[in-house]
Amino acid sequence: MVKLVVTNRVGATVEVDAFTGISMMENIRELDDSVDAICGGMCSCATCHVFIEPSLWDSLPERGYEELMLLKDLESFDPERSRLSCQIEVTGDHDGIALKVGPEE
Ligand code: FES
């Protein structure tokens, strides 16, 4: 288990005990005011949008083409910080990583 530091849609920050080997989305979707993840992690809805500071990206997998195309359709897309949380598998390298849930669109 690792800790994720999650700021939800209303600005509250909580520490989450996260399981490794499953996605960031699966670890945070049950929190209050968190991601909707309507497609269940199939990379087709972008409702699992989160912001992660660029300085923390070293431990993340590359942003894939499909992920980027979905993100670019969002009004809140930030080229420097936007990720789909369903496309990030949590590993031991993510202990303490901070993320902010994207706005509802
Ligand atoms: S849960 Fe739908 S794109 Fe991530």
Domain ranges (residues) in the chain: 2-101
Task: Output the average pLDDT for the chain.
Answer: 97
Please state whether the predicted TM-score (pTM) of the whole model is above 0.75: yes
Predicted local confidence at residue 12, as pLDDT? 98
- Confidence tier at 3 by pLDDT (50, 70, 90): very high
Tokens of 74: 């969002």
Q: What are phi and psi of 66, to 5 degrees?
A: -65, -40
Stretch 15-30: mean pLDDT? 98
Question: Which of 23, 27, 28, 45 for mutating ligand 1's site (highest number of atoms within 8 Å of CB)?
Answer: 45
Of the residues 34, 84, 88, which should be mutated to test ligand 1's pocket, given the most ligand atoms within 8 Å of the CB?
Answer: 84
Class of domain 2-101: alpha beta
